[in-house]
Amino acid sequence: MRFGHVAGDRMLDLVNTVDWRLDGRARRENLNTFSDVVDWCVESDLISADEAAALLDLAGRDDARAERERQQVVEARERVYAALFEDDPEAAADLADMYRAAIAASDLVRSGDCWQWRDRETDLRLPRHRIVRGLVALTERADLDRLHQCEDARCGWVYLDTSPRRNRRWCNTKDCGDRNRARAYYARQKAKSRRP
Single pTM value for the model: 0.89
Sign of torsion over alpha carbons 72, 74, 79, 84: positive
Confidence of residue 82 (pLDDT cuts 50, 70, 90): very high
Sign of torsion over alpha carbons 54, 43, 22, 143: positive
Which pLDDT does position 24 carry in this prediction?
85
Give residue-wise pLDDT tens across range 113-160. Answer: 999 999 999 999 999 999 999 999 999 999 999 999 999 989 999 999
Confidence check: pLDDT of 40 > 80: yes
Which sequence spans correspond to the domains of the chain? 10-145
Which pLDDT does position 174 carry in this prediction?
73
Which pLDDT does position 65 carry in this prediction?
98
Confidence check: pLDDT of 61 > 60: yes
What percent of the chain shows pLDDT beyond 90?
79
Q: How far apart are CA 91 and CA 47, in angstroms?
A: 26
Which pLDDT does position 185 carry in this prediction?
46
